Amino acid sequence: MTFTPHGKHLIAGNWVAGDATFTSDPAHGPAHDFSVGTPGHVDAAVEAAEEAFWSFGYSTREDRAAFLHTIADEIEARAEAITEIGTQETGLPEARLQGERGRTTGQLRLFASHILAGDYLDQRHDEALPDRAPLPRPDLKMIQRPIGPVAVFGASNFPLAFSTAGGDTAAALAAGCPVVVKGHSAHPGTGEIIAEAIHAAIAKCGAHPGVFSLVQGGKRDVGTRLVQHPLIKAVGFTGSLTGGRALFDLCAQRPEPIPFFGELGSVNPMFLLPAAMEARGGEIGTGWAGSLTMGAGQFCTNPGIAVVLKEQAETLADSASAALKETGAQTMLTDGIAAAYRDGQARVSKGTGVREVLTTMCDQRDAKPFLYRVSAADWLADEALSEEVFGPLGLIVEADDLDEMRAVATALEGQLTCTLHMDDADLKAAQSLVPILERKAGRILANGFPTGVEVSDTMVHGGPYPASTNFGATSVGTLSIRRFLRPVCYQNMADALLPTA
C-alpha cells in the first residue's frame, strides 16, 4: 500500500492547508509538498485542545485506555505504508522502522494498562481529626490531575517512537491531556500518516476532535507560538541543545512560565575498569563499535566517550577500530544532521592532544565512523571535547590512574546514561565511581551498552542538564506520565465534588 501525503495539517478534526508550502527532502523516493504551518494554525489547534480538555480531562481511565489501544490498532492497520514513507523520509532501514512501530504501539498499550492499574494517581488521604488539640485536622485527599493542553516536538531520530504518537503524546493522552504536535520537518509524511491513524481513533472512540492536532512546520514561528500560547501547560521536546534551549528559555519567559521537558544532548560515557579490560578488552572494544554505529550513531544514548587506563587504551583502540572499519556508510536523517556531524568531527580532531585512530569519509548525507584518542589531562582542559557529536564518532579518554578516571567523571555534564564495564576485582573502583555517576546521569549501567532503551516502569531516560532540562523527569517509560499531571489536594470536600477516579 503506497501512501501519498496530501500535505495538510490536522486541526481539531479537519485537514487544513494554507497557501505556502515546503517540499520534503527524503533520503530516497519522491518528495512531497506540505502546507507551511502558521501561528494562526497553532492558535486554532490549541484553542480546540483547551475545549477538548473539558471532556477529555474528565474522561474515565477505561475510555482513555480504549482510545490508546485504538490508536495502536490504527497504526498497525497502516503498518506497511508507515514503513514505506518512514524509510523514504529518514533513510532508516525497513527493519528499524518496523521495530520502532512495535515499540510505538507497545508504548501506547503499556500506558493503557498503566492508567487502568491506577497507581499513577498516587491517591492519599489524611482523615479528619476533629478532636486534635490544639487544632483539629481537616479531611485531606490528594490525587494527580491532568494539567491541560500539551505541546509535543517530535524527534528527528525516532520518527515513530518519539514523534507524532510517540512517548510524549502517549503519556500526555494517558494522563488526560489533549496534545498539539509540531510536525518535524525531517519526516512530515510520516507525521501525517500517524496523525491519520489518531484521527481515525478519535472518530471510532467518539473523543473530542481537539484532543489531537498536528501542525506541520516549515517555519520556526510555529514552534515559538506553540510554546508561548497561554493555553499550553507543558512542552515535551527531543532534539538539539540549541533548539531546545531556545524553546526552554521562551517557556521560562512567558508571563505564566510552564515546564519544558526537553531531552537534549548526552555523550553517554563508559568507564572501562582495569580487571574487565584485562579479561575482555577486545570484546568490549568490539561491543562499543557496534553500539556506536547503530542507526548511524543517531541515538541519544550513543556512547561517544570511553574512559580507560592509559596502558589498556591500545587494546581498546585496536579492537574498536577493527570493528568500525567493517562498517559501511550509513545514511543520516537529514543533510543538516550530516553537516553537524562533519562539524563535530572537525571540532574533535582539532582538539589539543587529540590523535586519530580511524578517520574515514562523511560525504553529503552518508556517515562513516571516526575514532580518536586523547589523554584525560587534555580532555579535562578542553570543554569542547565533552560536547556531543551526533553520529558514529568515538573518543577514547586515557587516564593515568583511577584518580584521574574519577576526575573525568566529576567533570562530566549531565548525561542520560553512564556505563561501567567491570569484573569482581573492580568492585572497589566501581564503588568509588557510582556516587559520582549517580549525580550525573539518569541511568547507570554495568557491563552493557546504553543504546536500546527499555520502555518499562523503572526506566529513566533523562538526567541533569543538558541531558534534559528537567532532571526530575523521564521521557521514556510509565513514569513519564508524571510530567503531565499535577497534584491537587481537596480539603473537606464532599465525595460528590471529587474527581471520579
Q: Which residues bind ligand NAP (CB under 6 A)?
A: 153, 155-157, 182, 184-185, 217, 220, 223-224, 238-240, 243-244, 246-247, 263-265, 300, 337, 340, 390
Q: Which residue intervals of 185-312 are DSSP H helices?
A: 188-205, 221-228, 241-253, 274-293
Q: Is 263 marked active-site?
A: yes
For residues 8 and 16, what is the distance between their CA atoms, to the nearest angstrom? 5
The catalytically annotated residue of 50, 51, 84, 300 is: 300
To ligand NAP, the closest distance from the beta carbon of 339 in angstroms equals 9
* Cβ distance to ligand NAP smaller for residue 209 or 297: 297
Distance of closest approach, residue 138 Cβ to ligand NAP, in angstroms: 46
Q: How far is the CB of 240 from ligand NAP (least distance, A)?
A: 3
Nearer to ligand NAP, 209 or 218 (CB): 218
439 three-state secondary structure:
coil
Q: Is 442 helix (H, G, I), strand (E, B) or coil?
A: strand
CB of 464 to ligand NAP, least distance (A): 14
The residue (of 226 and 316) whose beta carbon lies closer to ligand NAP is 226
Q: How far apart are CA 69 and CA 194, in angstroms?
A: 14
Which residue, 395, 391, 316, 317, is CA-closest to 350? 395
List 16's β-bridge partners, or say none. Answer: 9
Least separation in angstroms between CB 56 and ligand NAP: 24
CB 112 within 8 A of CB 69: yes
On whether the CB atoms of residues 17 and 41 are closer than 8 A, the answer is no
* 224: CB partners within 8 A, 6+ apart: 247, 250
CB 281 within 8 A of CB 318: no
- The answer to whether 259 touches 168, Cβ cutoff 8 Å, is no
Please identify, using beta-carbon distances, which residue of 289 and 337 lies nearer to ligand NAP. Answer: 337
- Write out the DSSP string of 31-99: --EEEPP-HHHHHHHHHHHHHHHHHHTTS-HHHHHHHHHHHHHHHHHTHHHHHHHHHHHH---HHHHHH
86 vs 274, beta carbon nearer ligand NAP? 86
**Residue given cell 521560562 in the structure block:** 252
Question: CB-wise, 109 or 342, nearer to ligand NAP?
Answer: 342
For residue 202, the 8-state DSSP code is: H
d(CA 69, CA 105): 8
The candidate with the shortest Cα–Cα distance to 120, out of 468, 483, 475, 416, is: 483
Nearest to 415 by CA among 460, 380, 467: 467
Question: Under a CB-based contact definition with an 8 Å cutoff, are residues 447 and 422 in contact?
Answer: yes
- Sequence letter at residue 70: T
Q: How far is the CB of 46 from ligand NAP (least distance, A)?
A: 15
Instruction: Give the nearest distance from C-beta 486 to ligand NAP in angstroms.
Output: 25
Active-site residue flag, 177: no
Nearer Cβ to ligand NAP, position 265 or 274? 265
Q: What is the nearest approach in angstroms of ligand NAP to the Cβ of residue 281?
A: 29
Helix (H) or strand (E) holding 367: strand 366-367
Rounded distance between C-alpha atoms, residue 176 and residue 40, angstroms: 25
Least Å distance, CB 1 to ligand NAP, is 27
CA distance 246 to 244: 5
| Catalytic one of 74, 263, 388, 398 | 263
Taking the least distance from each CB to ligand NAP, the nearer of 39 and 351 is 39
Pairing of strands 140-146, 124-126: antiparallel
Within 10 A of 444 (CB to CB), how many other CB atoms are there?
17
Closer Cβ to ligand NAP, 337 or 445, answer by number? 337
198 with 164: CB under 8 angstroms? yes
Edge-to-edge strands of the sheet including 124-126? 124-126, 140-146, 485-491
Q: Which three cell numbers stand for residue 202?
A: 478519535
**Residue 86 CB, nearest approach to ligand NAP (Å):** 15
Nearer to ligand NAP, 148 or 344 (CB): 344
Q: Give the residue numbers marked as catalytic.
A: 263, 300
